[in-house]
Amino acid sequence: MNDPGYRVLSGLFGGAELARLGEAAEAVQRDVLAKAASGQTSVQVWPDGHRLERVDGTTVHWEPDAPGAIRSLSPVSQLHPAFEALWTDPRLTGPMAELLGCGEIGPFVSKLNFKRAGVGSEFAWHQDLTFWYCCAGPAARDVATAMIYLDDAGAGNGALSVIPGSHRDGPAPRDHAEPTGLLLDASKLDAERERTVELPAGSVLVFPSTLVHRSVPNRSERDRRTLLFCFQPAGRPRLAELPYREEMLADLP
């Protein structure tokens, strides 16, 4: 059978535990918003106009069209003990070690995507590999993500869509006309194979850095929050420890 490249771990979190993770996400957002308002931060504007702000050891990626709303925070695990504990949770580390094909795994980076009701913006077609390659080089291929669903995700609130099997083709052609140079050329993707992965809260979607994926804006009345924990073979530096070398992008198609 063809390997689609991703796997769903159903019902991994539930009940009070899932509620605690959701509360942790809200608490972290409150703290970050308060610190951002203090003005002791540094702001960077990306070539596509998105604003990124360093606040207390995390990067706030603001929603481009909704002033004051956070699109994502990364890295985020250090901001709450309930998040930090996920790095060593065997329900995640077991499947992730299997996916990466190695005995011991460690952290690469963590992220909290809010994808809020009504304002959560699009993530255009991309491979995570491209975003990490300028820091980690070819080692970015050895990183895989566990996406933990804090809310139900359906087509209506911007569930993740994937191209099954796309991980097998390695780096996909980028859109060289797009200002960041990090997104893929949609005209060169087999979008007919696109599959929207609708999952209930508490599920986990695991996938490698070469799987092509995207999500549409959340125009619904339901939040679609997810935590992304990205693992790699143990002993390698984390993303935040690596310098960003933009010229490395030229290695990728």
Ligand X SMILES: O=C(O)CCC(=O)C(=O)O
> In this structure, what token pair is assigned to residue 178?
């797009």
List C-alpha distances in Å: 155 to 193, 205, 222, 224: 16, 16, 11, 11
Task: Rank residues 12 and 159 by Cβ distance to ligand X and give the closer one.
Answer: 159
Q: Among 13, 123, 229, 231, which residue interacts with ligand X (rule: CB under 6 A)?
A: 123
Which residue type does 112 have?
L
Report how many residues bind ligand X under the rule CB under 6 A: 10
Sequential DSSP letters for 61-78 = EE-TTSTT-EEEEES-GG
| CB neighbour class for 246 (10 Å; exposed up to 12, middle 13-18, buried from 19) | exposed
The piece of 63-71, 92-100, 110-118, 240-248 that touches ligand X (CB under 6 A) is 110-118
Q: Among 58, 93, 113, 209, which residue interacts with ligand X (rule: CB under 6 A)?
A: 113
Residue 59, phi then psi, degrees to nearest 5 = -105, 120
Taking residues 32 to 71 in sequence order and writing x for each that binds ligand X by CB under 6 A, - otherwise, the string is ----------------------------------------
All residues at 6 or more sequence positions from 23 whose CB lies less than 8 Å from its CB, including other chains: none
The piece of 38-46, 48-56, 109-117, 162-170 that touches ligand X (CB under 6 A) is 109-117
Q: What is the smallest separation between the CB atom of 183 and ligand X, expressed in angstroms?
A: 11
CA–CA dist 175, 187 (Å, integer) = 9
Task: Rank residues 97 and 211 by Cβ distance to ligand X and give the closer one.
Answer: 211
Task: Rank residues 74 and 93 by Cβ distance to ligand X and give the closer one.
Answer: 74
Q: Among 61, 71, 80, 115, which residue interacts with ligand X (rule: CB under 6 A)?
A: 115
Q: Which residues of 218-229 are buried (b: 16+ CB within 10 A; e: fewer)?
A: bebebbbbbbbb
Q: Among 127, 215, 227, 239, which residue interacts with ligand X (rule: CB under 6 A)?
A: 215
Residue 174 near ligand X by CB under 6 A:
no
Binding site for ligand X (CB under 6 A): 111, 113, 115, 123, 128, 160, 213, 215, 226, 228
